[in-house]
Structure 1
Amino acid sequence: MIEFDDHPLLEPVCFVTEFAEPLGSLGPATSALAALEPGATAPLTSSDDVRAAVRRLLRLGGYRPTGRGKPSAEYLLGAVANGRLGSINPAVDACNAVSLHSGLPISVVDLDRASEPLRVGVAEAGASYVFNRSGQEIGLGGLLCLFDADGPCANAVKDAQRTKTDEGTRRTLSVIWGTNELPGRADDAAAWYRELLAECGATTRSV
């Protein structure tokens, strides 16, 4: 279960995925990787209107979604265009494909590395966490985040290193950071996302 603080724009979709084997033992997510190729077609297409709506969602708590703090879906657009986005693992590849084409940021965390209770809300001023292996931090003040018992662990910009997937991951939680300014878009993104995961032999259930 996830508790959600009141928010006038947030329209999230969340689901849990269980993989038959650890991610490191699974083959590539073929359809997801194909969708990450430059010029690939997909069931959803991002646009300037989508990007603007996502930025309004993140600004509402006082966060500034620009520069290095832009929404993750915008980062993916640049990474694919520049040929900088390779395969990570089936869970992340599917996440990236759907985020790229839907324009919605998506978080995917290893459920066995997160501690209940789980909550979604706006981070307080001064909050931060490490988001990569080199120890870089992101300031979280005013940004919508997923929290576990130990604090914020994911958001629409960069997920925390401590709950990221690895080769041993068997269970994940995905959070699609949708907005009610784009009604139904998060549901459509989730449907395609779950299809891509099913191709990897995974099972999913709504939260």
Structure 2
Amino acid sequence: MHFRHSDDVWAAFPELAAGVLTAGAPAAPVDDRLAAFHTEAKSRLAGSPLSALPEIGAWRRAFSRMGLKPTQYRCAAESLLRRFAKEGSLPRIHPLVDLCNAVSMACAVPVAALDLDRIDGNLEVRPADGREVYVPLSGGSEHPAPGEIVFADTAGNAHARRWTNRQSGLSAVRPGTARVLIVAEAMHDGAAGDVGALLDTLAAELDTLGAAPSRPALLTRADPGFTC
């Protein structure tokens, strides 16, 4: 499977920093691995409002440029931090998802984890043509609006809507998931270094858990692809 951001995305968002890695899906509990990341997230939340965080502010501006209201549609990292601030914890979903969510909050950077075996062909982050099919986590199906940025596979499945806003239930990590593609994306100043550090952290954690992560790869406009 080949993953990339389209030329249209790079042209519209030249400040994008993106990185990927692959791994197995550990089934062992990760609660003892999460505490440090939750502490870092709490520190971020105590220091300033979410809107003042450069990582979140950059995504809000990107959503505005996509024609979306940034207080109605939020990037995944902001949504996680808002829920964590309100409830003091997050529900446990799956060990790998719980770890990715914790690292995402600590860094204020969206992190997607997708079941590789549920992706049909290649995967591209690109503007939708309106024919893609998106399966919400709650079930049913939708068609993204033309021009909306989606994670689309060769068969026309949209594995995320509104870029980093909402992941599809089709490729959500679940019991039985064997292989995972992890994608981190950011837009703020210094994002490339932060995305690299985030993926190095995740790879080290996954290695400790026996998930056999690949070496992280940073993607650029000149070198936008990653082959699993």
Partner of 1:195: 204
Alignment pair present for 1:119 and 2:124? yes
Classify the secondary structure of the residue corresponding to 2:213: strand
Give the whole-Å Cα distance in 2 for the aligned partners of 1:3 and 1:97.
25
Deviations 1:33-68 (A, max 9, x none): 32464xx137x958621111122234434343332x
Partner of 1:204: 213
Classify the secondary structure of the residue corresponding to 2:101: helix
CA contact (8 A) 2:18 2:186 kept: yes
C-alpha displacement of 1:125: 5.7
CA contact (8 A) 1:9 1:57 kept: no
Partner of 1:12: 18
CA contact (8 A) 2:18 2:192 kept: no
Moved over 6 A (4+): none
RMSD over aligned Cα atoms: 2.7
Give the whole-Å Cα distance in 1 for the aligned partners of 2:36 and 2:21.
21
- Map of 1:44-193 to 2, 5 A cutoff? 48-67=53-72, 69-83=73-87, 85-124=90-129, 129-135=134-140, 139=144, 142-151=147-156, 152-154=158-160, 155-179=163-187, 181=189, 182-193=191-202
C-alpha displacement of 1:123: 2.6
C-alpha change, 1:160 and 1:170, in structure 2 (3 Å) is: same
- For 1:167, give the aligned amino acid: P
Partner of 1:3: 4
Classify the secondary structure of the residue corresponding to 2:35: helix
- For 1:177, give the aligned amino acid: E
Give the whole-Å Cα distance in 2 for the aligned partners of 1:64 and 1:105.
18
- For 2:62, give the aligned amino acid: L
- Map of 1:24-35 to 2, 5 A cutoff? 26-35=27-36
Deviations 1:148-206 (A, max 9, x none): 12332123111101111110001000111122633311111111121222222111124
- For 1:156, give the aligned amino acid: T
C-alpha change, 1:35 and 1:133, in structure 2 (3 Å) is: farther
CA contact (8 A) 2:115 2:181 kept: yes
TM-score normalised according to structure 2 size: 0.75
Give the whole-Å Cα distance in 1 for the aligned partners of 2:143 and 2:188.
26
State how many pairs are aligned.
198
C-alpha displacement of 1:132: 1.1
C-alpha displacement of 1:130: 2.8
Give the whole-Å Cα distance in 1 for the aligned partners of 2:178 and 2:153.
18
Classify the secondary structure of the residue corresponding to 2:82: helix
Classify the secondary structure of the residue corresponding to 2:186: coil
Deviations 1:85-141 (A, max 9, x none): 122112101110111111111111100011112112123468662321344869555
Greater share of helix = 2
C-alpha change, 1:142 and 1:9, in structure 2 (3 Å) is: farther
